[in-house]
A and B are shown apart, each in its own frame.
Chain A
Amino acid sequence: MAELFSRIGAETPIKARLKVSDLSISRGGTPLFAGLSTSVSNGDILWIQGDNGIGKTTLLGALAGLNRAETGTVEWSADNQPCEARDICAYQPHKSYAKPSLTAHEDLTFWAKLHGTLSLTHHALEKVSLGPKANVRTQHLSAGQKRRLALAKLIISQKPIWIMDEPAAALDSDGTALIDELVQAHIARGGAAIIASHSGARVLSSATRTLTLRATT
């Protein structure tokens, strides 16, 4: 599979597709919503909005294969072949998952080793302007800098579909512009993005679809 995805960096991206059919999601036994059908493939930006606690994070988890659907299915495919979520999806959670006692460079290098993209670490750190902070332990980074580190991890994952949970939280205007730029570049290379947020960052303008979760009355 690895060589399949290295092609994303090249000019001919793989055809990745995430298809949701009649999906119902529950959290801790409480149903959140039912009957969701949609699909995301190369070039799409799906913007998920909704109030806190409505189930955005749980939905993203299901799209990334980290929660099982209550009913309905989520199917992932690469070049029209069914595959696993991890073959095409990268997931950026709301919370930072950097290990506090590792430096930014060490933390990123570890994931780069797991993804087999060690050569990209330096480039990714520069891209998110963390170059000068590479040797600082992540516990000493600010919340916004941790977000940037998480963005670097998306870059080194080399997966076509980015699933991002509130990426703009804690970021300054430069940071928001950075997300905008990274997502645009990712889409331009044939990637796709699913972004959950209640605030309207600038990427919204380029979203191809929005999915609104609204409380039933």
Chain B
Amino acid sequence: MHLIQLRRPLQRAAVSGCQQLTPLVRTSSFTERFAKLRLDVASGNAAVEGRRYASVKAQGAYRLTNKKTIPKKLGAKKTGDQYVIPGNIIYKQRGTIWHAGENTIIGRDHTIHAAVAGYVKYYRDPQRHPKRQYIGVVFDKADRLPYPVGAPRKRKVGLVAGPRKEIAPVEPTAIGPSGIPLMVTRHQQTQVSETPSTVTATATSVEVTEPAGETPRTFKDGNSVIAALMEEKLRARKLYDAKRRELRAKREEELRERQGTRVFRLQDNYAYRETNWEIGRLVGDAGVVQGTENTSSRKRKFRNRRRRRNTVYSTIKQNALEKVERRDEYRKFVVAKRLQRAAHEAEIKAKMAKGEKVAMDGKTKKTDGKAKDKKVKA
């Protein structure tokens, strides 16, 4: 803005002040005079100002709220010192603009509720946190929060006394209110196998062979100590194995018994049915359900077997073929050797017939013989 523009109102005020010294003074009141002395921009001449006023109201005043979103209705629902009862919402917010202070509860969506009946106080507690602002509820309207440090907490009992009611223990009845039995148990005779008893017998026999108490050991050197310890370890392992076998047998026995006993319970629709969990337990106990130890599928099992077989048989076949081949080779080798020897013998015979002269240069003859052999082989 130019300096002249700034000065204009002042000039105007000065001029108008001078004009009012004329007879008008008597007629107008003091307030009017002061009103004219005001350095008001609006009261000045618009043309002089060089400014236009809007002939239509600005759009801001007519701005509409967004109807496409659901209003969240956040903010304070109770003012300071207002009376609240337990559960009343004091403040709705996104995040913790206000924190839960004395006798208030903060909800999952950070809404602050009253925990007791009393009066709402909005306060800060620099001892607890330098920046946070808290909402609290006090029992006495005149109280101020935070309470002084070291003072006993102010709490109310908030209970009403009444006669104590004895809750009679509910006795389980076999017959329901409609006069029909609540459950039916059906026993099924199962074949008892002989194996578990034998297993337990072996387990006990192992225990019997074990010495009853601890035998006093005489330690002479480290090696004997170690030997004794290893022995002990082996014995312990044997015992452990026997115990495990026994336990497994016992479990199997229990399972068989359970499978033989079926309990049918009365349903809401007057039908008897086994409960789902009991049906589930027929397979085995939770955690030790039978069949779960083998994680692979049946199909996979077969595939594995096939592959295993293939590998085994192919190896056997290959081995057999190799053997045959080796045997053939050996046979050929033996035949060749025999031929060679025969040729050699024939040669010697020929030499014997010709005389000793030929024997002097037998080297060349020998090579010739070898060449002949090669020819035979080929």
**A, B: real partners:** no
